[in-house]
Amino acid sequence: MAGHSKWKNIQKRKNAQDAKRGKIFMKHAKDIYIAAKQGGGDPEMNAGLRLTVEKAKSDNMPNENIDRAIKKATGDLDGANFEELTYEGYGPGGTAVMVEVLTDNKNRTASEVRHAFNKNGGNLGENGCVAFMFDRKGYLVIDQSQTDVDEDSVMLEAIEAGAEEMETVEGAYEIYTDPEDFQDVKSTMEKSGFAFEAAEITMIPQTLSEVDESAGNKMVKLVQMLEDMEDIQEVHHNMDANEEIMEQL
């Protein structure tokens, strides 16, 4: 995966989540809403909804919040209608950036996203301008300190479960799958006793774009500004910079 690793970012972000719990719950609620809207409100029959509910529970989102989001989507409660959109552009230093949003007002969101790019030395582009630089993959992380299974055994289990690839990074095993195989791989490995520190379907950059310190600091500000927006669900990029800058993301 071209040296791409999300593990360190995940570790750093855990410490900041308590302060942003309200925003995190809101983002989970929107994810649950759209998944239930598309595939129905029964997690047993809707794999996408099941995954979003699991992610929400991993962040300790209350069951009543989860149920409320599902009921809004299925029409049992009144609520706003949300739309999924993706914005693409170039960040400082020519980095590729993809922004996934869920909004009930796309004009407002487009204006806010464009402002963030312009303020931090980037440019919002047309749809498709950077999407070809990313692959949509299932992504699973096993913390090495939480398992006594050796690397070869983990890899064998992952491949037998249907994973495409596994990489060992500092402190973790990162497993990649085809999006359609993600749930099967996750369930199979969980039945074998593995627990995941992260489990999601995400965008993985094909190659990384190395930037200098100045561009890297601007990129950090761009990503943080985007992630602080209520409508933003995920920000994907291909920046590679020194460790100090990457740890700020």
Closest of 75, 93, 185, 87 to residue 141, by C-alpha: 185
Statement to judge: residues 115 and 139 lie in one domain:
no
| Cα three-residue angle 83-186-48, rounded to 5 degrees | 20
Statement to judge: residues 164 and 121 lie in one domain:
no
Statement to judge: residues 217 and 115 lie in one domain:
yes
In this predicted structure, what is the pLDDT of residue 20?
63
Statement to judge: residues 140 and 152 lie in one domain:
yes
Q: Helices 47-58 and 63-74: crossing angle, nearest 10°?
A: 150
SS (H, E, C) the chain: CCCCCCHHHHHHHHCCCHHHHHHHHHHHHHHHHHHHHHHCCCCCCCHHHHHHHHHHHHCCCCHHHHHHHHHHHHCCCCCCCCEEEEEEEECHHHCEEEEEEEECCHHHHHHHHHHHHHHCCCEECCCCCCHHHEEEEEEEEEEHHHCCCCHHHHHHHHHHHCCCEEEEECCEEEEEECHHHHHHHHHHHHHCCCCCCEEEEEEEECCCEECCHHHHHHHHHHHHHHHCCCCEEEEEECEECCHHHHHCC
Q: Residue 130 phi/psi, 5° resolution?
A: -130, -5
Q: Lowest-confidence range among 47-61, 70-84, 115-129, 206-220?
A: 70-84
Contact 207, 230 (CB under 8 A): no
Domain membership of residue 2 (yes or no) is: no
Chain center to CA of 166: 18
pLDDT greater at residue 136 or residue 2? 136
Statement to judge: residues 141 and 188 lie in one domain:
yes
Statement to judge: residues 219 and 183 lie in one domain:
no
For residues 87-102, give the mean pLDDT.
95
Distance CA 247, CA 91 (A): 18
Domain membership of residue 101 (yes or no) is: yes
Statement to judge: residues 195 and 223 lie in one domain:
no
Domain membership of residue 79 (yes or no) is: no
Inform me whether the pLDDT recorded for 131 exceeds 90: yes
pLDDT band (50, 70, 90) for residue 8: low
Distance CA 220, CA 226 (A): 10
83 forms beta bridges with: 103
Contact 159, 166 (CB under 8 A): yes
Q: Residue 147 phi/psi, 5° resolution?
A: -140, 145
Give the CATH number for residue 194: 3.30.70.980
Statement to judge: residues 213 and 121 lie in one domain:
yes
Statement to judge: residues 173 and 55 lie in one domain:
no
Domain membership of residue 17 (yes or no) is: yes
Domain membership of residue 1 (yes or no) is: no
Statement to judge: residues 138 and 200 lie in one domain:
yes
Statement to judge: residues 13 and 49 lie in one domain:
yes
Give the CATH number for residue 64: 1.10.10.200
In this predicted structure, what is the pLDDT of residue 132?
96
Domain membership of residue 4 (yes or no) is: no
**Joined tokens for residue 189:** 């490995």
Domain membership of residue 3 (yes or no) is: no
Q: Which domain holds residue 178?
A: 134-205
For residues 108-136, give the mean pLDDT.
95
In this predicted structure, what is the pLDDT of residue 12?
47
For residues 208-234, give the mean pLDDT.
92
Statement to judge: residues 163 and 40 lie in one domain:
no
Q: Residue 191 phi/psi, 5° resolution?
A: -65, -25
Inform me whether the pLDDT recorded for 228 exceeds 60: yes
In this predicted structure, what is the pLDDT of residue 108?
94
Domain membership of residue 240 (yes or no) is: yes
Q: Per this entry, what is the length of the chain? A: 249
Inform me whether the pLDDT recorded for 91 exceeds 80: yes
Closest of 164, 166, 240, 224 to residue 196, by C-alpha: 166
Percent of the chain residues past pLDDT 70, beyond the cut: 90
Q: Tell me the pTM.
A: 0.76
User: Any idea which residue has 């993985």 for tokens?
Assistant: 204
Q: For the chain, how many structural domains are there in total? A: 3
